[in-house]
Structure 1
Amino acid sequence: MKNVQLSERLFAAASLVPKGSRVADVGTDHGFVPIYLINENIAEHVVAMDVNEGPLERAKEHVHEYGLDEKIELRLSDGLKELLEGEADTMVCAGMGGLLMMRILKEGDPVGKGIKTMILQPQSDLVNFRTFLSENNLVIDDEMEIFEEGKYYTMMRVRSDFSGDITPEEEAVNEIVERCGCDKERAVHICHRFGPVLILRKDPVLKDYLEHELSVYDKILKKLSENEHTDRMRDIINKKNDITTVLSLY
């Protein structure tokens, strides 16, 4: 039987999972990512969890269809609440808002449960999300920017046990400060907005996204009156400056 066909976004998430992992898939939906991970011999075992019974039932049907009942365990769970300590070393959480994902990480205590690698794809609040990771010593060590069906998605691999001499964020901040003359605080903000690894890698899809955002802001600025929207204009100009700073690194 052929393996499941993942969307480009979910394929990117799966590709960041280390081989030999024991995975907790949070918000498994149809169960396609766990099936793919097992069939490709990337994961040894998956606990596939969802907060809703409907998606879990569909996932159960798909898992059974592929004969993977013994390798994929399905569990009704709000985030990581029903995951036991030591059951997984890797977590996948894709396709939900950044604030919800932050709540799952805060309440679920993944590090305390033995999770060392997190594959995360927040769909909003990226600045707050990356700031949260940094403040909790969770290091982004890989990132992917995906364009699918007219939308941009950011995939990140996060480590709780990063052991390098310098984190990608520190490296990217240093590069922005040295090459662009920014102060450190602004360089950190730029990294949290656009992603340290994507910036270091000069990611081509990130560049497309930046150029797209720049054109959007230009159109907004043309419509605003300086007298009526001073604060709004200042905010957009600052956002444009962040973008041009990153583009100057390419």
Structure 2
Amino acid sequence: MDGTKIWNVRVSALKLSRRLTKILEKIPRGSKLADIGSDHALLPVAAVECGAAVQAVAGEVNPGPYDAAVKQVIESGMTDVISVRKGDGLNVLSAGEADVITIAGMGGSLIAAILDRGIEKLAGVRRLVLQPNVGEDILRRWLHSHGWVLIEEWILEEDGKIYEVLVAEPSDTTGLTNEQVYKERTIGDGVRLSADWLFRMGPWLTQSPNPVFHDKWTSEMEKMGYILQSLSRSDLPAAADKASEIRSDIEFIQEVLACLPKDKP
């Protein structure tokens, strides 16, 4: 049986979600993994089982998920290669202990704060695989300003929710630069995607959009519409300025979506 088949069997046995499966796919084979906010430690166990990780740390700050992670690792017979640790963020790690870090299921601002507070623990880390639930643009900006290059990103839907997975590597280890990734470009009939909009919408997602990408931004426009309704009830000058800004954003997003293919690339 080849490695791909083993991977499929293992993942099926663990019943990983599509979201966690995508994250697992982005962990290079033979990694020393740290999964922060590991919950039930499903990802570290799957990573070790399929050979993506040779050892792993499962970090969890909350007592219930920590206990569940300990139980999962024991039941999987992996206590010799997976260390479950209770602690906040990257505090569970020693510098150089992991070369791949995964953080999933939190807001982008929280993930950025975790990375920022433990920035010394990132020395020797060759890849970050991050899945923010919201605030993806905040996380992209943090990566950009701290010398990490976004090398790929994915968007998917599961159980009615939309998730984005961001993969980043240190700027001195990848052939890409942030200047290349976030370089302003023109799409369609002259619609210009600035660096600011690439941070918001995703530099790779706008290159290879799928129906989920369109669904996300259609939903974002609907939310903006609700905000406009609320602002229309205010006579404050600031409300009028904000409403004008939102209307401009909606118009621009409509233009972008009209220029981008909707089918899977």
The more displaced of 33-42 and 227-236 is 227-236
2:206 maps to amino acid: I
Q: Which one of 13, 18, 29 corresponds to residue 8 of structure 1?
A: 18
Counterpart in the other structure of 2:111 = 101
Read off the aligned partner of 2:103 and give its amino acid letter.
C
Q: Contact 1:190–1:242 at 8 Å: present in 2 too?
A: no
The match for 1:192 is 199
With 141-150 and 1-10 compared, the bigger mean Cα shift is at 1-10
Q: CA deviation at 1:104?
A: 1.0
Match 2:174 to one of 163, 166, 186:
163
Percent identity, aligned pairs only, is: 31
Matches of 1:136 and 1:234 in 2, distance apart?
A: 33
Amino acid aligned to 1:146 = L
Query: For residues 80-229 of structure 1, what are the structure 2 equivalents within 5 Å?
Result: 80-109=90-119, 112-160=122-170, 161-167=172-178, 170-171=180-181, 173-176=183-186, 180-182=190-192, 187-218=194-225, 221=228, 225=232, 228=235, 229=239
Determine the C-alpha separation between the residues in 2 that align with 1:93 and 1:165. 23
| Residues in 2 aligned to 1:67 and 1:172: alpha-carbon distance in whole angstroms | 44
Which structure carries more relative contact order (alpha carbon 8 Å, separation 6+)? Answer: 1
**Structure 1 pair 22–187 and aligned structure 2 pair: CA distance change class (3 A):** same
Q: Give the aligned partner of residue 64 of structure 2.
A: 54
Q: Secondary structure at the match of 2:195?
A: helix
TM-score (norm 2): 0.82
Instruction: Determine if contact 1:172/1:199 at 8 Å carries over to the other structure.
Output: no
Structure 1 unaligned runs (5+)? Answer: none
CA RMSD of aligned residues (A): 2.6
5+ residue gaps, structure 2? 1-8
Q: Write the distance in 2 (CA, Å) between the matches of 1:194 and 1:220.
A: 20
